[in-house]
Amino acid sequence: MARIEREWSTKMQNKNKTSKEADPSVIMEMNTAFWISRTLQVANELEIFTKLSGKCLALEDAAKAIEIPPRPAEMLLNACVALGLLEKENGCYKNSNLSEKYLVKDKPEYFGYMIAHGVQLSEYWSKLGEVVKNNKPIEHSAPFEDEETARMFTLAMHSGSTPTAKALVDFIPLPHTPIKLLDVGGGSGVISIKLAEKYPNISAVVFDTPNVCKVAQEFINQSPASNRIKTYAGDYTKELPKGFDVVILSNILHGKGVQNCISLLKKVYESLNQSGLVIILDFLLDDDKCGPVFPTLFALNMLIATPEGGTYSGAEIKQWLEDIGFNNIKKEPLIGNTSMVLGVKGKNDRNKNLF
């Protein structure tokens, strides 16, 4: 998606510079962009990449493996080759490196749950016209309403959060003194897990709903740092435990309106020890709110799914933090569409050199 966004942006800029007449080809590409997502989603549903893992199959054998007729198999497989998801050598199909790493079930970085979540999002987005006219989200089940729904949602978010967690661990050098970390709305706990695995001085708490905490515990149990990571089931909009040195909000603020964001950040401030560090990870808008492409579109996603949610600029979040009492506030790009805002509680600058 990020590559497509860059290509659209580059094409539009180049055409504006070199052509006296507007060229509708970019509009055509935008209009048919869902072809790409549906091709990926159907290939994932058929488990093509799992069934081709470690193999190179001729068309007839591949069609049998994925249990569809040869004619649609050839079209679908060729489309996957064109998209860089498969490779074709001497008439045989095999996974690309990308698919082998991220689209094969049971591999550590399997992304298929997020793709399956995208199918549900496609259904929601079909009602965008209705939503923008009425300024009301669509009616849908809360993702944490029952155990199975919470599990599938958490697995999907785990897929998306794993690269972010790895990037954060590489980016931010925490001190080697004892650190108590609170991961608010921590989902699968992947950020806490990655940080605790790197820093033996960290003890972490993953705070989320009871059904999500059950899934997080499964991931925690697989970690060598499991003895230093706990779950805390509750409602973070009502209370947060206190006495922490670092509090993380990863993809939390976009689900809330401005006043609820500020209210939560005040709770974070009270949760932190003096000189404690808040780390906010989210899809941040430019200050004029007209880009980048993904955060602007994700704002519409929140319009569809939540009563008040949206995406915010780094400048907006910085102002909220300053008004609450945070200092040494910085905005930094992290990975892909994710940026972060960091701030220190109080005027002590002990943590300012971390970023």
pLDDT digits (tens, 9 = 90+) for 149-169: 999 999 999 999 999 999 999
Confidence of residue 145 (pLDDT cuts 50, 70, 90): confident
Whether 138 and 304 have beta carbons less than 8 Å apart is answered as yes
Structural domains of the chain, with CATH: 2-102 (1.10.10.10), 128-354 (3.40.50.150)
The string of pLDDT tens digits covering residues 93-131 is: 999 999 999 999 999 999 999 999 999 999 999 999 999
The string of pLDDT tens digits covering residues 226-269 is: 999 999 999 999 999 999 999 999 999 999 999 999 999 999 99
pLDDT of residue 1: 46
In one-letter notation, the amino acid at residue 207 is F
Strand 202-208 relative to strand 229-233, pairing? parallel
| Averaged pLDDT of the chain | 93
- Spatial distance between the Cα atoms of 245 and 59, rounded to a whole number of angstroms: 57
Whether 174 and 279 have beta carbons less than 8 Å apart is answered as no
pLDDT of residue 157: 96
pLDDT of residue 355: 45
Signed CA dihedral, 203, 207, 211, 215: sign only: negative
- Spatial distance between the Cα atoms of 327 and 322, rounded to a whole number of angstroms: 6
Beta-sheet strand order (sheet of 244-250): 229-233, 202-208, 179-184, 244-250, 272-282, 338-345, 326-335
State pTM to two decimals. Answer: 0.90
> Which among 183, 208, 162, 187 has a CA at the least distance from the CA of 279?
183
Confidence of residue 138 (pLDDT cuts 50, 70, 90): very high
- Spatial distance between the Cα atoms of 137 and 149, rounded to a whole number of angstroms: 19
pLDDT of residue 252: 98
